[in-house]
Amino acid sequence: MTIKVAILKSGESIISDLKEGIIEDKVVTYLLNNPCQIICDSLREVSNYEDGAGEKELSVYMEVWPRYAKDTMIAIAVDYVATVVEPKDEIKELYERSVLKNVSQNHSIDEQPDLGLTD
């Protein structure tokens, strides 16, 4: 699994298990498995009571992306992506804990889809 953040030209930051779609040694698409948009909720200053110094703390959350899609694997054109980066550890852990854990619980081995195949 390769968890990356794709920064789209629209400005959205999308975290997912990202794979490259390659044809004839050229990347033509990115395949985003279980993509979520990273949304900054607020930036606040947290004071240290001992020395009075303050730090800025960022509050983020994630939403399924695209918001109204049923699909969990989304293909996007390479030219729609500005860059792909490694997520900060905290963001990656939030994604793994909040998104991937729920996905694995909802798709257990006992819940395999009926593909209509017979013996």
Average pLDDT, the chain: 82
**Residue 117 domain flag:** no
The answer to whether residues 33 and 75 touch, using CB atoms and an 8 Å cutoff, is no
Q: Which residues of 16-55 are buried (b: 16+ CB within 10 A; e: fewer)?
A: bbbbeeeeeeeeebbebbbbbbbeeeeeeeeeeeeeeeee
**Residue 71 domain flag:** yes
Q: Please give the helix or strand (H or E) that residue 93 lies within, else none.
A: helix 89-95
**Residue 13 domain flag:** yes
**pLDDT level of residue 107 (50, 70, 90 thresholds):** very low
Q: List the CATH number of the domain containing 12.
A: 2.30.30.100
Residue 10 pLDDT > 80, yes or no?
Answer: yes
Domain limits at 38? 3-106
Question: Residue type at 8?
Answer: L
What are the angstrom distances between the C-alpha of 35 and each of 2, 60, 90?
12, 15, 17
**Residue 112 domain flag:** no
**Residue 113 domain flag:** no
Report which of residues 9 and 49 the model is more confident about: 9
**Residue 116 domain flag:** no
The predicted-structure confidence for 39-73, as pLDDT tens digits, reads as follows 987 766 656 556 556 677 778 899 999 999 999 99
**Residue 111 domain flag:** no
pTM confidence score? 0.74
Q: Helix or strand or coil: residue 108?
A: coil
Residue 34 pLDDT > 50, yes or no?
Answer: yes
As for how many domains the chain has, the answer is 1
**pLDDT level of residue 117 (50, 70, 90 thresholds):** very low
**Residue 24 domain flag:** yes
Per-residue pLDDT, 71: 93
Question: Is the C-alpha dihedral spanning 95, 97, 101, 102 positive or negative?
Answer: negative
The answer to whether residues 30 and 20 touch, using CB atoms and an 8 Å cutoff, is yes
